[in-house]
Amino acid sequence: MRLTTRAPWRRALVNWGGAAALGLSIALPATAEDAPAVGLPFEEQVQVCGACHGNDGNSQQAGTPSLAGQPELTIVNQMIYFRERLRQNEVMTPQARGLPDAEIQALAAYYHEQPVAAPEGGPDPELKARGQQLAAQQRCASCHQSDYRGREQMPRLAGQREDYLIAAMIAYRDRTRGGPDTTMIDVMRGIDDDDIDAMAHFFTYLHAEE
């Protein structure tokens, strides 16, 4: 693996922060206190979700995905996976416990409509170009669309947090991400860390100024 200034935080994220954000850890027992969003007015549910994902869906928390601009079905599916324990996460599994479909759909619709904030900093042109080449080789656009805004159950990649994308791709490659989707396991098989770094950088800064 190429050691760069980016590598230490990426390794740390994968080892601990990414595990929590991606549902790689074993869920803790759920209680009523663990699921404060259930039954609250919509505005208060947004505040609960916003504690990690940002009230406007643009996450400022390391390892936590942004929800802004995500396809509604993507959010609905993942919330149901957490609710039904098809994905296990010590934070999200209890939060989703007991949430009715209508409340999940309302949250998904809200975050879908939120504008995607520009990422902090600027892209590395060389790394971004390498990531673009790799994304084309992997035919990522065949599912996520040519501008990577996602569709239906396919998540938006453009503008997503770089650390989250890295951890998610590694989790798929290493078969440690929960959930019923197996397509990405095949896509990521054999992709090395450097290439994952490059693809994540490309997706995050896709629409950023060079």
At 78-104, the pLDDT tens digits run: 999 999 999 888 899 999 999 999 999
pLDDT band at 210; cut points 50, 70, 90: very low
Whole-number pLDDT of residue 34: 54
Average pLDDT for 145-163? 97
Average pLDDT for 106-135? 97
Q: Which amino acid is at 176?
A: T
Whole-number pLDDT of residue 180: 81
pLDDT at residue 144 greater than cutoff 60: yes
Question: Regarding the domain with residue range 7-112, which homologous superfamily does it belong to in the CATH classification?
Answer: Cytochrome c-like domain (1.10.760.10)
Non-local (6+) Cβ contacts of 116 within 8 A are 58, 66, 68, 69, 156, 158, 159
Phi, psi of 111 (to 5 degrees): -70, -30
Q: What is the CA radius of gyration of the chain?
A: 17
Q: Do domains 7-112 and 125-204 have the same CATH topology?
A: yes
Q: Is 184 annotated as a binding residue?
A: yes
**172 close to 185: Cβ distance less than 8 angstroms:** yes
Q: Is 188 annotated as a binding residue?
A: no
Q: How far apart are CA 87 and CA 200, in angstroms?
A: 23
Query: What long-range pairs does 133-138 form, CB within 8 A, spacing at least 24?
Result: 134/195, 134/198, 134/199, 134/202, 135/199, 135/202, 135/203, 138/187, 138/191, 138/199
The residue ranges of every structural domain in the chain are 7-112, 125-204
Q: Is 79 annotated as a binding residue?
A: no
Between these two residues, 160 and 2, which has the higher pLDDT value? Answer: 160
Q: Is 169 annotated as a binding residue?
A: no
Report the b/e string of 33-72 with b at 16+ CB within 10 A: ebbebbeeeeeebbebbbebbbebbbbebebbbbbbbbbb
Q: How far apart are CA 38 and CA 32, in angstroms?
A: 9
Q: Is 207 annotated as a binding residue?
A: no
Query: Domain 125-204 maps to which CATH number in 1.10.760.10, 3.40.50.300, 1.10.10.60, 3.90.180.10?
Result: 1.10.760.10
Q: Is 154 annotated as a binding residue?
A: no
pLDDT at residue 151 greater than cutoff 70: yes
- Average pLDDT over the chain, rounded to an integer: 85
- In terms of phi and psi (left: phi > 0; alpha: psi -120 to 50; beta: otherwise), the region of 88 is beta
CA dihedral 115, 87, 17, 116 (to 10 degrees): -10
Whole-number pLDDT of residue 3: 32
Q: How far apart are CA 136 and CA 175, in angstroms?
A: 23
Whole-number pLDDT of residue 2: 37
Across 24-33, 159-168, 171-180, least confident range? 24-33
**175 close to 185: Cβ distance less than 8 angstroms:** yes
Whole-number pLDDT of residue 16: 32
Whole-number pLDDT of residue 89: 87
Whole-number pLDDT of residue 28: 38
pLDDT at residue 76 greater than cutoff 80: yes
pLDDT band at 131; cut points 50, 70, 90: very high
**Nearest Cα to Cα of residue 63 among 17, 25, 7:** 17
At 13-43, the pLDDT tens digits run: 443 334 333 433 333 344 444 556 888 999 9
